[in-house]
Structure 1
Amino acid sequence: MLFYEPLFLFLFAPAVYLLYLFFGADRHRRAIILLLASVVFYGWSEPAFIFVVFASVALDLYVAQRITGLSVRSVDPVTRAERAEGETLVRADVQGEAGGVEAEARRWLALGVAANLAILVYYKYTGFLALNFDALLRAFTLPGVHIPEIALPIGVSFVVFEKITYLVDVYRGVTAPARGPLLYALYVFFFPKLLAGPIIKYHDIAGQFETCPHAHVDDFVNGFRRFMLGVVKKLLVADVMASGADMIFARDPATLGFAEAWAGTIFFTLQIYFDFSGYSDMAIGLARMFGFRLLENFNMPYIATSITEFWRRWHMSLTSWIREYLYFPLGGNRVGEARTYFNLWICFLASGVWHGAAWTYIFWGAYNGVFLVLDRLFLLERLNRLPAWAANIATMFIVMIGWTLFRANSLDQAGALLFRMAQPWAQAGVAAAAPSEYVVMAAIAVAICVAQRVGASCAIDWTALARRHAFAVNGALSILFVAALAKGLADPFKPFIYFRF
């Protein structure tokens, strides 16, 4: 069930909202309504996988209770500050008996994390591992292996990562265990953010789930406005760019000219931003309509003047997760210069693996890791010497090369496309001009990104500007929203890119 499908827009969402408003007399009842709605929402798309998630939720709750029973940690603001700085979070005296208790708590944590990772590995990576193992066996003329295709549940990576954060934070003493199965299940299944994030840490939203706030008129107005913006981004911009990218990436790279190869990458660069940020807008807007505040996931990433800044602005919840649950535990930047570079690189290699079970994603992650290391070595200093617009262009060039790897169907295709993109003299083997609507929408999308860059340089507050012209902005957004829905109903639905992750 997609957020912009008629079933969701005209039946599911209104029904749930009315139930929440008029039958949610107390916070407990409101929580039950949201949980049941979220289970129906996810079960509509993944009826079998939902039982796996429920079983793992039960295991998480049990593991968290065992860890808490063994732990002498306290949950306080100092702990969170230490965590943010990457400091050691274990407060137990690890000598003697306390050391044994600590070791047992770590074993329970390892069990919980391993169980969640097992779900991810089974559904997402079994086919990839089997395929590569089969190729290896056949290379040595040995009998190959074959396993039935395993359907990838929507949003499995997001679900698993959030569940791991809960267990780790309980172990660290950052958060107390959920006050009952209802609250934790609601945290896992909360439908606005369930399918593609943002990745929310339990302690960041636990207070909201405990109170299940009343939805006020202001929440509805602001939330629905944000939701409309997301629908417009997705249906009017991202899906048009998707058609352009699909058209070019479906062709043999040898038949592409220099301009066409770059056009395909530009189309996808715009598609993935407007698609994913559009979903985040819808998720944040829906949550706001019910009175919840989710953390932002994007902050104009295409205005970045370095790869380091890009990753502070792009998919911020994932970047935060990698920093707190992988980079810091590996030692962060407190283990010497060479190890710091390795930690950075391995974290983004892991990010590539998280994104998908394909060599293209793995190389994309490694590629980003290399440029983050280069930023630390010398590149960031060099970029800072350039005018902001020049540093932005250089950064976007690096980003777009990476997106070519990300979008390509194989490493061979990625290499061939990059080869054509490096040949200004390359001519198309088959004349196939992109439809004019693709070019026009690409120009509009690029203009939006350029306006963001100009706004950052001139310190323009776009939010304040929109408030001053609220009537015109809301009117234009409403018209675009209706146009987007009409287009969505007329054209085949294109799922969000990050649903595959």
Structure 2
Amino acid sequence: MSFASPLFLWYFMPAVLAVLLIAPRGWRNGVVAVASLLFYASGAGGTTLLLLVCIAVNYLVAPALEPDEWDLGRARKRWMLIGVITLNVSILFVWKYAGFLTEQAAVLAGWFGLETPVVELALPIGISFYTFHHISYVVDIYRGERRALRDPVSFVTYISMFPQLVAGPIVRYHEIADQLPQRRTHRLDDIAAGLPRFALGLTKKVVVADSLAPVAAACFATPADEMTFAVAWLGAITYTLQLYFDFSGYSDMAIGLGRMLGFRLPENFARPYSSVTVTEFWRRWHMSLSRWFRDYVYIPLGGNRGGKRKTYRNLWIIFLLTGIWHGANWTFVVWGLFHGALLVAERAMGWDRAPGGAAAAIGRRVLTMLLVTAGWVVFRAPDLSSALSVLANMLLPDLAGLTYDVESALSNQRLLILVLAATVFLLPGRSVTGPYLESARTRPAAVLRVAVVTAGLCYAAILVATGTFSPFLYYQF
């Protein structure tokens, strides 16, 4: 089930909100937990059992990790923590990467005339996200930052909460622990505050991202011998915009839904395309993933406390893992290493800080956007050879123009949406629309909320009703 589907919009979401409003306070987590598992099972099918197994293991182990509980000694608790993290990572590794690794082994064996089996496993929806939630939970408890949840319903609510279960934001346990007790209030005001945010996200996804998707698909499907300068750049720019509006749209919908359920989920985007450095870009793009890696990998590795060489090493490790986390393909590995190299280079040259002067800021912003766009080409391409074909044609101007398939995909309506969407490249980074819609109490904010809920939500709902929506891009991760 997708947020941008008739089943969710017309039936599931209204039913859950109605039950939540009339349910006694002590039942509200139960309502969210049951609804979330039903939501997940509708798309995940039999792999829901894997989610339940992970929930059970982490719930049972966590209390023993508390510093002042169970007289096991710090060393034993540490080994228990390592064991449960290893289990979580192993489950993610087997289901997400076993196929890729056995495929690479089969290719290598083929060079020697041998045959080896290739494992084919269906990737459980959202496994990358709920694995990171489990790790955050047990680590925060081991560190003594929060107590373990003794109420299994509250724990299921945290892990499986349907707004963020399949594509984030990644909610670290200490960010939401105080909101999980059954005494949490829930009012009509929460629905009123969350609905405009949800409407904004649905509009970004259905009206903008889904309109750009066919154009990006046609560009990246162009054979290497037909690829042109115009097709390569159109594909790169269109996908850069599609990915942003698709993923930030999902995040807005998730945050809005969370607010309607009575939860405050963390922000995930803050105008990333206004960044003047790649370092700043990663403080604004998929912020919940960056914060997770900072808290649970980068800082434990030593962060920037061990001198330049160790800092650079840690940055490389973080972005290699970031690439691998996104998917089992060499393109993701190269994309992660590319960003790691950019951050190391900026740190080494002192470019990780904002430049002084308007002209320098504009130049650095353009350079950052070009580098990020080049990275998205690698991220989007099905393989490295296709990525190199697009990148090579972006560097080699020609007069060949667009191919027939790309011209067919680029209708006048989509061209207009592309031009309007491209204004996001020019917007300042200070004001972010989502939080402004949700919390600002000014007259312009009120007008914008009404416009988004009436015009944006209604138009997006019409498009959903006609079946023109597509799955969220981050569902595949």
Distance 2:17 2:431 in 1: 37
* AA matched with 2:130: V
Distance between the aligned counterparts of 1:213 and 1:111, measured in 2? 33
Q: Which residue of 2 aligns with 1:315?
A: 286
Contact 1:35 1:186 in 2 (8 A): yes
Partner Cα separation in structure 2 for residue 235 and residue 387 of structure 1: 36
The answer on 1:202 being equivalent to 2:202 is no
Q: CA 1:490–1:212 in 2, change beyond 3 Å: closer, same or farther?
A: farther
Question: Larger RCO: Structure 1 or Structure 2 (Cα < 8 Å, ≥ 6 residues apart)?
Answer: 2
- Quick check: 1:427 aligned with 2:425? no
Does structure 1 residue 243 correspond to structure 2 residue 214?
yes
State the match for 1:442 in structure 2.
418
Task: Report 1:109-124 matches (<5 A).
Answer: 109-124=81-96
- Contact 1:73–1:172 under 8 Å retained in 2: no
- The CA deviation at 1:250 is 0.9
Supply the distance in 1 between the matched residues of 2:366 and 2:315 (Cα, whole angstroms). Answer: 24
Cα shift readout 1:123-167 (whole Å, capped 9, x = no counterpart):
1111101100111111222223233x2111111100000101111
Contact 1:128 1:358 (C-alpha < 8 Å) held by counterparts: yes
Task: State the shift of 1:212 in Å.
Answer: 5.3
1:40 paired with 2:32, answer no
Change (3 A) 1:115 1:427: same
The answer as to 2:323 corresponding to 1:352 is: yes
Deviation at 1:382, TM superposition (A): 8.7
| Corresponding residue number in structure 2 for 1:336 | 307
| Contact 2:229-2:395 within 8 A present in 1 as well | yes
| Partner residue in 1 for 2:334 | 363
**CA–CA distance in structure 1, aligned partners of residues 431 and 181 of structure 2:** 38
Contact 1:213 1:290 (C-alpha < 8 Å) held by counterparts: no
* Distance change (3 Å), C-alpha of 1:205 and 1:471: closer
Question: Deviations along 1:192-217, whole A, 9 cap, x unmatched?
Answer: 11111111111211211104533223
Question: Is the Cα contact below 8 Å between 1:256 and 1:427 reproduced in 2?
Answer: no
Q: What is aligned with 1:64?
A: 62
CA distance in 2, matches of 1:114, 1:462: 41
2:195 & 2:431 partners in 1: Cα distance? 26
2:391 aligned with 1:418: yes
What secondary structure is seen at the aligned counterpart in 1 of 2:191?
helix
Alignment of 1:392-407 (within 5 A): 392-407=365-380
Which of 134, 139, 144 is residue 116 of structure 2 equivalent to? 144
| SS of residue paired to 1:210 | coil
User: Which amino acid in structure 2 is aligned with residue 15 of structure 1?
Assistant: A
Matched, 1:468 2:443: yes
Q: Does residue 388 in structure 1 map to residue 336 in structure 2? A: no
Paired amino acid for 2:54:
S
Deviation, structure 1 residue 175 = 1.6
Question: Do 1:31 and 1:212's aligned partners in 2 also have CA atoms closer than 8 Å?
Answer: no
Residue aligning to 1:168: 139
| 8 Å Cα contact 2:213/2:242 also seen in 1 | yes
Counterpart contact for 1:30–1:212, Cα < 8 Å:
no
**Per the alignment, in what secondary structure is the counterpart of residue 20 of structure 2?**
helix
User: SS where residue 354 of structure 1 aligns?
Assistant: helix
- Give matches, 1:121-140, under 5 Å: 121-140=93-112
Match for residue 481 of structure 1 among 457, 464, 469: 457
1:187–1:337: structure 2 CA closer, same or farther, 3 Å change rule?
same
Q: Equivalents in 1 of 2:438, 2:59: separation in Å?
A: 41
Mark the runs of 5 or more structure 1 residues left unpaired by the alignment.
Answer: 75-97
Secondary structure of residue in 1 paired with 2:116: coil
Q: Which amino acid aligns with 2:30?
A: I
Bigger shift: 207-216 or 34-43? 207-216
Could you say if the C-alpha distance between residues 471 and 330 of structure 1 is closer, same or farther in structure 2, counting changes exceeding 3 Å?
Answer: closer
Q: Do 1:255 and 1:428's aligned partners in 2 also have CA atoms closer than 8 Å?
A: no
Q: Equivalent residues in 2 for 1:171-320 (5 A)? A: 171-211=142-182, 213-320=184-291
Provide, for residues 421-446 of structure 1, a one-character-per-residue CA deviation record: whole Å limited to 9, x for no partner: 00113635844422222221111011
Cα shift at 1:384: 1.3
Equivalent pair of 2:206/2:464 in contact (CA under 8 Å): yes
Contact 2:229 2:400 in 1 (8 A): yes
Secondary structure class of the residue paired with 1:451: coil
| Letter in structure 1 aligned against 2:47 | F
Offset of residue 469 of structure 1 = 2.4
- TM-superposed CA distance for 1:412, in Å, is 0.4
> Which consecutive unaligned segments of at least 5 residues does structure 2 have?
none
Deviation at 1:326, TM superposition (A): 0.7
Q: Give the TM-score normalised by structure 1.
A: 0.89
How far apart, CA to CA, are the structure 1 residues paired with 2:422 and 2:437? 17
CA distance in 2, matches of 1:289, 1:498: 22
Percent identity over the alignment is 39
- Which residue number corresponds to residue 21 of structure 1? 21
Which whole-Å CA distance do the structure 2 matches of 1:204 and 1:382 have between them?
28
Spell out, residue by residue over 1:294-322, the C-alpha distance to the aligned partner (whole angstroms, 9 max, x if none): 11111111100000000000000000001
Aligned with residue 408 of structure 1, among 381, 385, 395: 381
